[in-house]
Structure 1
Amino acid sequence: MTSATNLDTDLTPFPDHTQLPESDGTFVKNWQEHPQSILLTDSIQPVLQELHPDGQYCIGQDLGIYWRLTDPPEKGAEAPDWFYVGNVPPLLDGITRRSYVFWREHIAPLIVLEFVSGDGSEERDKTPWKGKFWIYEQVIRPPFYGIYEVKKASVEVYEFIGGKYQLLAANERGHYPIPPLGVELGIWQGQYQNAELPWLRWWDLQGNLLLTGEERAEQESQRAEQERQRAEQERQRAEQERQRAEQERQRAEQERQRAEQERQRNDRLMAQLRSLGVEPEV
């Protein structure tokens, strides 16, 4: 068996992430790709932090996955719009990853997502050694591969089963469960970063939308405001109850005063009758 030390020695001629290009020099094809990646990353962070309390995981956003050594090097990489790898360090040698070098880490991403900019043929290309679909299915082999088309408000999710990708059917909510993460993937129509679009988002397995940090803060703010309003309503109810009790006390006091006045009138009347020689009891 090859030891870890021998493996490192064997890989010495092969470049690491600091020696490989971090970009192929092309422009992002769709302005929505960047906010879409942020949305996915931001909302799933609490899930990943629970899964990896030691912080050992990596999220790639348009980050190259080097799967073979070529000339130029970037020809041997695929750069998914978004991917997640568990049980790997987020930093290498104390610096941020510039790429994910598959021949050094040997752990495939759990899920790879591509955001379609054209007609989707590039993301579904099964041409050997060249097509994205072929490379993911035959070489990198992430257990889940998703193709998101904002223009069609749709996402296709494939699962690696029996050595090939099988297209998954959506559940009753129109989502695609990713069991290892305990989440579902689907389309959410709404506003994010000032754009109303059909965004790709996560839900938990009970169908609850996973919120971004800003949404969580807004939700907390709304809960706090609702709690403040409930407390104010309770204070007002207590004040109204106090006022009712005070009114009742005042009515009782008035009734007592009226009874005392009536008693005093009766006493005066009896005194007058006695002064006339009439016994009131008779």
Structure 2
Amino acid sequence: MTFNPIQFKISWEKLPKDFILDEHPLQDIDQPLLAAALRESLEIAGLILEGTLVAPHLAICVNFNDKLVIKTPDLFYATNVHPLPDREIRRSYTPNLEGDIPAIVMEFLPENPPSYQDEYSAKQTYLPGKWHFYEQILQAPIYVIFEPASGDLIVYHLNSSAQYEKQQADANNRYWIAGLGLFLGVWQGTKGERTGYWLRWWNESGEMLLWGAEMVERERQEKANVQQRADRLAAQLRAAGLEPEA
């Protein structure tokens, strides 16, 4: 995608405490489930450290040509995020002022997205489209677009010309996300009440980061395997005329 750059002024200022955020209902139940699943596996793997913000549908704020612009990715991951004062609730995130630029921003597209061409466009004027916001204003290194209904995943990375370029998948059809040190890919199956396509993380060794229920099942299976081995050994000892120790 080619841009004709225009002059614009950017400043990073915290959202005023009395600012009322517009409340837009989620377009479907897939968006929060997908975001929660991605966050859960990171947390279980111990990859959400102090100062890490993995936030679903949280407002990212910037002043663009002296006007406030707010965009809410379905999920983003940022590091070196400053802690909030006691009892203050995080209502928004202002990069550069409160922490790093997000290493990755994600959008999960509904099956029939309203105003798709406008909301996710490269529109440069106020209000800018999400593509232009993430690429030219936020300059997030990785922009992910996922369609849960079809399982289509497109990953863009910011190239040396500060423009998004489509990233190629590896032999396993996964994408290396340098800012997290993980691969991102599509997995098909069931979690909770939802069956379909999911985004999943894999580490450098190719091991998939598990969800909580999968960890429990793996531990249950490992205990069952140990018990089976113990039972076989006990049977072999009895067949040899020996009584196994209790």
The TM-score normalised by the length of structure 2 is 0.82
Change (3 A) 1:20 1:233: farther
Specify the alignment match of 2:5 in structure 1.
Answer: none
Q: Gaps spanning 5+ residues in structure 2: where?
A: 1-10
The one-letter code of the counterpart of 2:141 is P
Cα distance in 2 between the residues matched to 1:17 and 1:42: 30
119, 126, 131: which one aligns with 2:122: 126
Cα distance in 2 between the residues matched to 1:84 and 1:102: 11
Cα distance in 1 between the residues matched to 2:98 and 2:190: 38
Cα distance in 2 between the residues matched to 1:223 and 1:103: 46
State the SS of the aligned residue for 1:33.
Answer: helix
Specify the alignment match of 1:26 in structure 2.
Answer: 24
82, 87, 92: which one aligns with 2:84: 92
Give the deviation of 1:121 after TM superposition: 3.4
Change (3 A) 1:236 1:17: farther
Cα distance in 2 between the residues matched to 1:37 and 1:213: 15
1:123–1:147 CA contact under 8 A, matched in 2:
no
Q: Gaps spanning 5+ residues in structure 1: where?
A: 1-9, 245-282
2:61–2:94 CA contact under 8 A, matched in 1:
yes
Specify the alignment match of 1:198 in structure 2.
Answer: 197
Cα distance in 2 between the residues matched to 1:189 and 1:239: 46
Q: Percent identity?
A: 27
2:107–2:146 CA contact under 8 A, matched in 1:
yes
Cα distance in 2 between the residues matched to 1:72 and 1:180: 30
Give the deviation of 1:84 after TM superposition: 0.5
Cα distance in 2 between the residues matched to 1:17 and 1:33: 27
1:184–1:204 CA contact under 8 A, matched in 2:
yes
**1:81 matched to 2:87:** no
Query: CA offsets, 1:89-148, max 9 Å, x none?
Result: 3x4112331110236225210000000113553564101041100000001111111000
2:15–2:61 CA contact under 8 A, matched in 1:
no
Query: CA offsets, 1:192-225, max 9 Å, x none?
Result: 1122101111111222211012211221111111
State the SS of the aligned residue for 1:68.
Answer: strand
State the SS of the aligned residue for 1:180.
Answer: coil
Cα distance in 1 between the residues matched to 2:237 and 2:65: 77
149, 154, 168: which one aligns with 2:147: 149
110, 134, 137: which one aligns with 1:136: 134
Cα distance in 1 between the residues matched to 2:138 and 2:208: 30
2:14–2:93 CA contact under 8 A, matched in 1:
no
Query: CA offsets, 1:26-72, max 9 Å, x none?
Result: 1100111111111000011245x3573xx111111000001127999
Cα distance in 2 between the residues matched to 1:17 and 1:143: 27
Cα distance in 1 between the residues matched to 2:229 and 2:67: 65
State the SS of the aligned residue for 2:97.
Answer: helix
Specify the alignment match of 1:220 in structure 2.
Answer: 219
The total of aligned residue pairs comes to 226
Change (3 A) 1:138 1:69: closer
Specify the alignment match of 2:42 in structure 1.
Answer: 44
**1:168 matched to 2:167:** yes
Q: Which has the higher contact order (CA 8 A, sep 6+)?
A: 2
1:20–1:99 CA contact under 8 A, matched in 2:
no
Give the deviation of 1:81 after TM superposition: 0.3
1:67–1:103 CA contact under 8 A, matched in 2:
no
2:95–2:102 CA contact under 8 A, matched in 1:
no
Specify the alignment match of 1:233 in structure 2.
Answer: 232
